[in-house]
Copies of this chain bind each other. A is one copy, B any other.
């Protein structure tokens, strides 16, 4: 299923282990799975395609014109300008204009689907095609829970969220900067974050993106776990990079992207367009802009290293036009995401799109109204990598412990949703109708007994009991139950095994790197 690529095709786990070169690493990655879920979802229902061919072509034509006429600015990165110049773009200062069709041609070397390896190979994820990978939310400075309210995130919070994700069968990926560990210096925290992902999770994860040298640290730490040879041949880490919309890629970002690509590692490239601020208020224009920006970034990874894994990202939003505040989980970005999905598939690139968004400051009805609206858009639009699957609150300013549990539960529901309806003689149950007959009851019939277990997805949080039972048990709301559940899960958490030698090597690397650095706090 992969597009032509100079990287190694994904290897079966057994063969991969041979390459790793160290028995301890091999044993580590073969450790048994600690969860009950699937490594990733393979969708059983089609995507929701809402736009017809004629309008898709109109948008694509506008994208081509935008890229050729207005173009995109690549700031503070002469190597990027040189790569684009060599590929045929028109360069004026830092402005790059692309002849129609140029970027589409370059993007043909990008894989339509690739594997990101986890240190436990049972958790390797295939990104692209019909596959869907859920990862926790990313980038909040604050954390929040019902007991302590809102506060700056710490490394302990960061580790807690990794543990909660690892404990749930409904995530497939450990994510990246789940919250900012603000108690660690800005120039050092990336190593603690990468270490925490490697230590407390055995799923795939995202590395640092905040500076090229931090990208290098992240990749180097991966080499200590996977082996340098394995990392040279396989994607084991990715970085999630943002466009500086409208139409600007900053040098710190493009240098980081190129570092991942050069190492054969993955990039997820995402514009953040708040309609009316960083883009037009009209959806079609915002979509055209977003696709143009992302195409240019994805093409850069291919110029740096043809075949490098890259994920076409998107993050549409809207705005409260009275206050100027961003809004999330509203209808326009939801339906816009469905269109973005169609456009990404026409580029044959894996898609990151939407997530579980809200502006609510509490894990309340607003939070989940907006969350479900945007999360259903994510799976319906065909997103292959859904960052921000869980925990997002307050327009991404806060990671909420309770919302994280609610969102994990929703991710579970979506596993069942995406299976669709199975149709065969057994599922159609005609003999059961003959057995039960009109006016009968299916509860005790043979077909029900045979299919009883696992017939329906079961929520960890919903209260389906009769009113009186619910009342006698304390009349709890969902937030209260979520509060109890995250505490229970943290108390029960068990770390996946990590080879002591690898652990020591990681700690040693961090100590050495941190040793010579003064703390930077901004």
Contacts and interface: CB of A to CB of B under 8 A. Distances in A.
A438 B248 contact: yes
14 contacts: A55-B421, A247-B437, A279-B442, A282-B426, A283-B422, A284-B422, A284-B423, A285-B427, A285-B428, A318-B455, A330-B456, A335-B417, A361-B471, A366-B368
A363 to B, nearest CB: 6
Interface of A: 45-46, 48-51, 55, 58-59, 62, 65-66, 69-73, 95, 150, 244, 246-248, 275-285, 287-289, 318-327, 330-332, 334-336, 338-339, 359-373, 376, 380, 394-395, 397-398, 406, 409-410, 413-414, 416-417, 419-424, 426-430, 432-434, 436-443, 447-448, 451-453, 455-459, 461-467, 470-471, 475, 477-479, 482
Given A438-B70, A448-B276, A370 B462 contact: yes
- Report the 4 A-B pairs with minimum CB-CB distance, sorted nearest first: A285-B429, A331-B417, A247-B438, A73-B438
B332 A428 contact: no
Contact of A321 (B325, B437, B458, B463): B458
A48 B395 CA distance: 29
Contacts of A326: 464
Given A417-B335, A433-B247, A458-B321, A58 B428 contact: yes
A276 B461 CA distance: 22
Copies in the complex: 2
B456 A71 contact: no
Contacts of A323: 464-465
Nearest to A322: B458
Contact of A416 (B70, B332, B338, B368): B332
Contact of A45 (B46, B330, B332, B335): B335
A204 to B, nearest CB: 25
Given A45-B335, A73-B438, A455 B276 contact: yes
Contact of A467 (B366, B397, B424): B397
A287 B73 CA distance: 54
A430 B66 contact: yes
B462 A366 contact: yes
Contacts of A372: 368-369, 372-373, 376
B289 A72 contact: no
